[in-house]
Amino acid sequence: MHDYDPGWDYRPIRRPASAELDEAEQAVRLHLIPAMDLPDMTLFFVRRGQCRNGAIAKYIAGTASHPVIALDVAAHRAAARSGRDLQVMLRTSLAHELAHAYLESCGIDPDLHCEDEVEEFAADFAHHGRIHLRGLFASHDHLLD
């Protein structure tokens, strides 16, 4: 188990009240985390723009034993105001970041993760509830033999 503290790199804020966030988190905890054989996850929340490089969520590399994810809920809500489904966006973001944790837990260096594969996996989970872990390894076929 790691000893990562979000306060080392971020200024966490209080969890916002959000039914969409509660539902997205529940779906991930009930279905995705067990499928990935991860113990659980820790979410913390940051002010808009703190996730770095314009991201709206960020997996903290090195925390795969108990994934830690920063989530910018304000950025998600801003995108939702443009007509996007907030529930789907939150599930996509959480699944995307957990996919990075899963790949890291399988021994794949975070610098080698294929963003297209991670994004496709996350969208499939968020839109259809499907969990295809094997798809995350398409560019790492040599590990599946």
The answer to whether residue 48 sits within a structural domain is yes
What is the full DSSP assignment across 100-124? HHHHHHTT--GGG--HHHHHHHHHH
The answer to whether residue 14 sits within a structural domain is yes
What band does 68 get if pLDDT is binned at 50, 70 and 90? very high
The two structure tokens encoding residue 29: 């905890």
Q: State residue 141's pLDDT score.
A: 65
The answer to whether residue 80 sits within a structural domain is yes
Mean pLDDT, all residues of the chain: 89
- What is the rounded distance in angstroms from the CA atom of residue 76 to the CA atom of residue 90? 7
The answer to whether residue 27 sits within a structural domain is yes
Q: State residue 143's pLDDT score.
A: 55
The answer to whether residue 1 sits within a structural domain is no
Amino acid at 75: A
Q: State residue 7's pLDDT score.
A: 93
Q: Where are the beta strands (DSSP E) in the chain?
A: 42-45, 57-59, 68-71
All residues at 6 or more sequence positions from 57 whose CB lies less than 8 Å from its CB, including other chains: 51, 69, 70, 71, 72, 93, 94, 96, 97
The residue range of the domain holding 44 is 6-143
The answer to whether the predicted template modeling score (pTM) of the entire model surpasses 0.75 is yes
> pLDDT tens digits for 109-139?
888 888 999 999 999 999 999 999 998 988 8
In total, how many domains does the chain have?
A: 1
The answer to whether residue 103 sits within a structural domain is yes
> What percentage of the chain has pLDDT greater than the value 90?
62
